[in-house]
């Protein structure tokens, strides 16, 4: 029973820090790659899409082999990014632009790398949806021109592949930088809560003069700073332990 309880605790502990999951690089046989990361904290999906820099290329989302281009969500890059959807055997029709381009640096060795971002879910019925809890895999098709051109055409090479999302564990910050000071602003007292040991706390005014030193119990992680009687304004808290020092700006009302 003890082993089961310990295992359950570990699983819940790890789950608490599991804020994102990723497919890693999904390689396509036509020289393209796609990498999806779902972030549960920001409710965003990030797509790193790589393709040849000298021609148009695109990516179909949630599309299975043999789809016939009659339905689906697609991104196309020509000289800029467009959000489209498959509606038949012709060029994909333009859709509302839900993806934004985060990064599009100068191509390297003939390869363009686009970093794109979108909400995990939205109200666009043409868009592939990425609900965090239930999105565990994705089928994709990479499409690119079979010759050097940025004009969409039916002369293309495509490749199907799939990716599986695996959890990316976050690392909790246990340094003094992660210290919480609240309420801020305050009129009576500040409360300091750290994730590590705290040995010294000092309060300075804006010109760097020491206003007060706060007594800290050994290995304390919670400290109260009384600011009654201080003039209203901005102050700096100096937090220190045996290995590091951190500063926090506070406002006294």
In order of 38, 53, 69, 151, 158, the CA distances from 32 in angstroms are 20, 11, 19, 18, 10
Q: Where is average pLDDT lowest: 5-9, 17-21, 52-56, 222-226? A: 5-9
- The alpha carbon torsion through 239, 192, 197, 248 (nearest 10 deg) reads -30
Tell me the range of 43-52, 55-64, 72-81, 174-183 where mean pLDDT is highest: 43-52
β-partners of residue 195 are none
Q: How confident is the model at residue 173 (pLDDT cuts 50, 70, 90)?
A: low
Domains delineated in the chain: 20-169 (2.60.40.1210), 176-252 (2.60.40.3080)
Residue 20, both tokens? 């994102």
Tell me the range of 51-60, 152-161, 206-215, 242-251 where mean pLDDT is highest: 51-60
Cβ atoms within 10 A of the Cβ of 181, count?
18
Q: Where is average pLDDT lowest: 23-32, 79-88, 120-129? A: 79-88
Cβ atoms within 10 A of the Cβ of 27, count?
15
Q: How confident is the model at residue 195 (pLDDT cuts 50, 70, 90)?
A: confident
DSSP 8-state symbol, 178: G
Question: Whole-structure pTM over 0.85, yes or no?
Answer: no
């Amino acid at each position: 029973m003890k082993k089961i309880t310990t295992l359950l605790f570990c699983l819940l502990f790890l789950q608490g820090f599991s804020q994102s999951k990723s497919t890693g690089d999904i390689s396509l046989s036509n020289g393209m790659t796609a990498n999806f990361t779902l972030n549960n904290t920001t409710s965003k999906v990030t797509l790193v899409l790589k393709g040849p820099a000298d021609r148009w290329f695109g990516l179909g989302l949630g599309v299975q082999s043999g789809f016939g281009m009659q339905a689906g969500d697609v991104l196309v890059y020509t000289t800029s990014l467009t959000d489209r959807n498959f509606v038949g055997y012709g060029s994909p029709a333009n859709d509302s632009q839900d993806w934004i381009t985060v990064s599009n640096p100068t191509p390297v060795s003939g390869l363009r790398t686009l970093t794109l971002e979108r909400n995990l879910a939205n109200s666009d019925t043409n868009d592939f949806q990425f609900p965090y809890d239930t999105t565990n895999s994705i089928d994709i098709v990479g499409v690119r021109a079979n010759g050097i051109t940025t004009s969409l055409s039916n002369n293309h090479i495509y490749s199907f592949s799939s990716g599986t999302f695996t959890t990316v564990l976050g690392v909790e910050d246990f340094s003094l930088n992660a210290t919480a000071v609240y309420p801020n602003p305050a009129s009576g007292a500040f409360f300091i809560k750290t994730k590590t040991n705290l040995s010294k706390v000092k309060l300075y005014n804006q010109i760097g003069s020491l206003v007060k030193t706060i007594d800290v119990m050994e290995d304390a992680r919670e400290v109260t700073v009384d600011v009654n009687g201080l003039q209203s304004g901005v102050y700096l808290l100096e937090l220190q332990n045996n290995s590091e020092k951190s500063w926090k700006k506070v406002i006294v009302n």
